[in-house]
Chain A
Amino acid sequence: MTDQQSTQDPIDAYLAGVAIRLHGPRRRRAAVLDELRDGLDHAVREHLARGHSADAAAAAAIDQFGAPRAVADGFAAELATAYARRTIALYLLTGPLVGIWWLLLLRPDPWRFGLIALILAIPVLPLIALAVVTGASTLATTGRLIRWLPETTADRALTATVAVASLAVVGDVVLITMLATTGAPIRPIAGFAVAASVGRITASVLVIMHVTRLRHANR
């Protein structure tokens, strides 16, 4: 045991032990720890009221709450679901900010109408549609609609997150490759489109790596 640990308040040390085993959005983890601290404070006060010494009351409260690993494991699914929901929501919200530049750049000839003309001009549209359906259905089956729809597990929600991120990467790479191989004159709008896609590819690679780490940590 280090000097720092030996002088640390037992409740603080216990919560630190839980904190290092929690994986997920930072605010959610902070909220979990605040909630646990409040619960532990209540438990300590109860033990003090029963005549325990301060040290014994803290030890009894910690014993009551269980091993840090068991407590952290209990939150793993909820935190993973929270991460998946937040990430998918970000993709759905920011998708149009990337897509608008490509739509302006690759939109079909004004004389050609309809879905086929649009898909021929922007062939990644089916991928985008698949990503939107995957993301939206995951949000629906991990949110309030679980009262009526079958609930998606945390593991499946993470899989859906990786699927959405992968589809975004494939779509962006295809669009950039298309632009690079057409030999069309470079327009400022192309710069915005490529920059937006490169940003999303980078973010998507980080998301996939994060999900891999999250799964490994929750095993």
Chain B
Amino acid sequence: MVPMRPELLKGHLDALLLAVLEAGPQHGYAIIEAIRTGTNGTLDLPTGTVYPALHRLERAGLIRSDWHTVGGRRRRDYQLTRAGWTALREHRAVWDEFSAAVTALLQVRPRPSTA
């Protein structure tokens, strides 16, 4: 597998987190695991990246969190807000356009014959 450089994620982390939460409320660790398993291990994001990014999305009003007590431990579950659903749709549209454009240029083409 070609190693994935972390800077490639820049600008797409919000979309990934919103996409994972589309399935329903989840806690931070489950979100990290969902990204890892959902990308077959290609994106194994560090804790110090995902949790602060979730806090920022909450500050922006795109997700909200609720605390529960489970087995005597406090747990924070995140879920999409109405603005989060809208942002996810917009991210998807932008990504579809962007990836189609990049794929059109990067796809392997037969080399022109020099003969």
Enumerate chain A interface residues (CB-CB to B < 8 A).
31-32, 34-39, 41-43, 64-66, 70-75, 77-78, 81, 142-144, 146-147
Contacts and interface: CB of A to CB of B under 8 A. Distances in A.
B85 interface: no
A143 B59 CA distance: 6
Contacts of A71: 46-48
Interface residues of B, number: 24
A38 to B, nearest CB: 5
Nearest to A71: B48
Contacts, number: 75
Contacts of B28: 35, 38-39
Contact of B48 (A37, A74, A143): A74
B55 A147 contact: no
A36 B59 contact: no
Given A74-B47, A75-B52, A78-B52, A38 B87 contact: no
A143 B28 CA distance: 21
Interface string B26-70: 011110100000000000001111011001100111100000001
Contacts of B61: 143-144, 147
B9 interface: no
Contact of A39 (B29, B49, B55, B70): B29
B100 to A, nearest CB: 25
A31 B59 contact: no
Given A144-B60, A147-B60, A36 B47 contact: yes
A66 B59 contact: no
B73 A37 contact: yes
